[in-house]
Amino acid sequence: MTNTIWGGRFTASPSEIMEEINASIDFDKRLWRHDILASKAHVAMLGETGIVTAKEAKEIARGLDQIMAEIEAGKFKFSRSLEDIHLNVESRLHELIGPVAGKLHTARSRNDQVATDFRLYVRDEIGAIAAALRALQLALAKKALQYAGAVMPGFTHLQTAQPITFGHHLLAYVEMLGRDRGRFTDAAKRLGECPLGAAALAGTSFPIDREATARALGFARASANSLDAVSDRDFALETLAAAAIAAMHLSRLAEEMVNWASPQWGFVRFSDKFTTGSSIMPQKRNPDAAELVRAKTGRIAGAFQALLMVMKGLPLAYAKDMQEDKEPVFDALDALKLGLAAMTGMVEDIEPDLRAMKRAASSGHATATDLADWLVLNLGLPFREAHQIAGRIVALAESRGSDLKKLPLSDLQSVEKRITEEVYSALDALGSVKSRTSYGGTAPANVKREAKRWIKRLEKDAETR
């Protein structure tokens, strides 16, 4: 049987293979709410402009409300033979109210219809993701405040570098996630153009009011070019790009959690809520939640690349290739939301081992830079000379199998005779972090101030959302 919506041009039914490759209802049915809301805005505008009568507009809106209720109740039967969500809704509308249902599609096409539905969906997802990012930021900031003075080693090249605080480390991710929220906010702003009324590609001869439709759907304006309106998927690409960067940040934190939780590091412990065991090794406590968050970055970044490849060679305006735009977006944004929820739970659940972290921060000659700084401040040496002296002292400590702080003063003076007993205050890990009071530094006072600032800001954001 040919499709009754577009079948007037055709006399034979499509092959089973054609029907299989052409149908999108299996995945685009999740746009049902957005499709119905856009249709209600469209028919309201048609009624206000006199393109359909007020009675017809009211009857169509009533039918759409009934379809929405049926879908919400799980009573709506989706049909693959009707290809997509648009035709499924329109076909059911015809069953409910008769031929007047056909007037709903006046002055629009499935091209501008799907572009509108998809924008509405992505806009809603951006809102949900922004809220999830904010929740993770708040969890990190609260944990940072709790452990503002907890000393741990900072790393470069995954080698011990300088002592920092656990709170300072967590606040670094708060900053990253703040930039992620900014990217999603920017994407939402550029998304705010309504394609509805662009029709297939050239606009329409009906006297429609596109600005009224845009306002009704919460867009800032109607899109200015009908060709661009139906063929643009930049909003989805930009959202996926923001998602990929956010997922990368989650992956970095997940990687650190995996390291921190390993017995070789022993910095943190997770409860049973975010770990799993082994079917053969009874002692295992695996950080599977963190590992899965880390792994999902691939599918999220891959979704961006997949849609980019769909769009890269398409001439204007619409092409069926663009049906492949939704599944990557659906999958990627679902994965990101799940990853954010899991990471928020892990951050709230994490228990640092303060003694293990401080012990690690006091080893590996982490205060060598503090030693060099002390030589500059107290002996007036150029930093490059101080760096050389500190390096020789580190080599001496390694040859003795000793930490810097445990070297006798006589050993220190064998390298630089002017070193005094006061140098040991600079070789203490806690003293080191307390001295880092420059703006953005790891000093506990800085961390407390920044954590409180973030908590206040994030709680205010949540209230005004």
Tell me the backbone φ, ψ of residue 194, rounded to 5 degrees. Answer: -95, 120
Pairing mode, if any, of strands 193-194 and 159-165?
Answer: unpaired
- Give the separation between CA 127 and CA 115, rounded to whole angstroms: 19
Tokens at 451, concatenated: 């954590």
User: What residue has token string 């648009």?
Assistant: 86
Point out the catalytic residue in the list 157, 399, 410, 438: 157
Cβ atoms of 416 and 375 within 8 Å: the answer is: yes
User: Does 157 qualify as catalytic in the annotation?
Assistant: yes
Point out the catalytic residue in the list 15, 262, 271, 278: 278
CA 186 to the chain's CA centroid: 13
- Give the separation between CA 462 and CA 465, rounded to whole angstroms: 5
**Helix/strand/coil for 53:** coil
Give the per-residue pLDDT at 1: 41
User: Does 278 qualify as catalytic in the annotation?
Assistant: yes
Peptide bond into 317 cis (omega under 30): yes
289-345 pLDDT tens trace: 999 999 999 999 999 999 999 999 999 999 999 999 999 999 999 999 999 999 999
- Give the separation between CA 380 and CA 376, rounded to whole angstroms: 5
pLDDT band at 4 (very low <50, low <70, confident <90, very high): low
163-217 pLDDT tens trace: 999 999 999 999 999 999 999 999 999 999 999 999 999 999 999 999 999 999 9
- Give the separation between CA 336 and CA 241, rounded to whole angstroms: 12
- Give the separation between CA 396 and CA 404, rounded to whole angstroms: 9
The CA-CA-CA angle for residues 29, 335, 147, to 5°, reads 145
120-150 pLDDT tens trace: 999 999 999 999 999 999 999 999 999 999 9
Cβ atoms of 147 and 110 within 8 Å: the answer is: no
Give the per-residue pLDDT at 272: 84
